[in-house]
Amino acid sequence: MSRIEDVFKNLGGKKAFIPFITCGYPDMEGFKQLAFKLAENGADIIEIGLPFSDPLADGPMIQKTSKIALKAGVNTDIMLKAVAGLEETGIPLVVMSYFNPIYRYGVGRFLGECTKAGIKGLIIPDLPLEEACAYRDLFNDYGLDNIMMVSLTTSRKRMALISRIATGFVYCVSVRGVTGSKTGLLDELKSFLGQVKSEFRIPAALGFGLSSVDQINQIKGFADGIIIGSKILSIIDQEPELDQGLDRVAEFCRAVRKSL
């Protein structure tokens, strides 16, 4: 059992809280402070985004933070060094990266450096299923979980194929978001998560569109974990001073943790 799967196993009936932050946002020191603040206030796993110039799967807030980090010079080597400094949090760290930076860096080299940095898993949203199959043994060799995505539009047949190679947890994408006023959508998400649970042996975590405790309360019973990114980054973005933003993030995380 991987370190990530072990986290879910030891939650004692609770749901996993998986916050996302962008490496280098608002700057490198602020990024490190934010990571430790998340760890101190209930995060079970921290997802870290490697800034990319064309983040097609990300919303406006994450795109904004990526541009800021890239402008400041954050690259793959800087990200790996920064993440290595976060092992003291004691929280499993997962990196989300598009495939292009990994390919340019060298897939084997990248996976090896991730292992050295203490990273436990990777999320590569634009990695085709066929390519993921080809790299399965390489992920296993380096002891990294290959966390794959499924969405409302993923067929049961494709889910079955993904379930053969995905490890750690399966990332369930709610591309249309979750709102309390859209009962039909909630019903669709519940059905979707039920399908995922029937196809996968590993935990299922829901991300995209979750920004409030009310939303989490409506859907948490159908997933093993909740992923929140844009909301946390927007809190930092809205505050003129980093300390104020960190205090608000801590308050939000405590509320989420209590809900889960």
- Reported as a single tens digit per residue, the pLDDT across 84-139 is 999 899 999 999 999 999 999 999 999 999 999 999 999 999 998 988 999 999 99
pTM for this model (two decimals):
0.94
What is the C-alpha separation between 175 and 172, in angstroms, rounded?
9
Q: How many CB atoms lie within 10 A of CB 214?
A: 11
Catalytic (active-site) positions: 47, 58
> What burial class does residue 238 get, using C-beta atoms within 10 Å of its C-beta: 0-12 exposed, 13-18 middle, 19+ buried?
exposed
What is the C-alpha separation between 72 and 79, in angstroms, rounded?
12
Find the range with the poorest average confidence among 62-76, 137-151, 163-177, 240-254: 163-177
Q: What is the pLDDT of residues 11-59, one digit of tens each?
A: 999 999 999 999 999 999 999 999 999 999 999 999 999 998 876 667 8
Query: For residue 120, which phi and psi values (nearest 5 degrees)?
Result: -105, -15
What tokens were used for 25? 């946002």
Give CA separation, 128 vs 148, 149, 158, in Å. Answer: 10, 11, 12
Find the range with the poorest average confidence among 1-5, 182-186, 248-252: 182-186
Phi/psi region, residue 19 (left: phi>0; alpha: psi -120 to 50; beta: rest), is: beta
What is the C-alpha separation between 147 and 168, in angstroms, rounded?
6
Q: Where are the alpha helices (DSSP H) in the chain?
A: 3-9, 28-40, 60-71, 76-84, 99-105, 107-116, 129-134, 136-141, 156-163, 183-199, 213-219, 230-238, 242-259
* Sign of the dihedral defined by the CA atoms of residues 72, 73, 74, 80, in that order: negative
Q: What is the pLDDT of residues 204-248, one digit of tens each?
A: 999 987 888 998 999 899 999 999 999 999 999 999 999 999 999
Position 178 scores a pLDDT of: 40
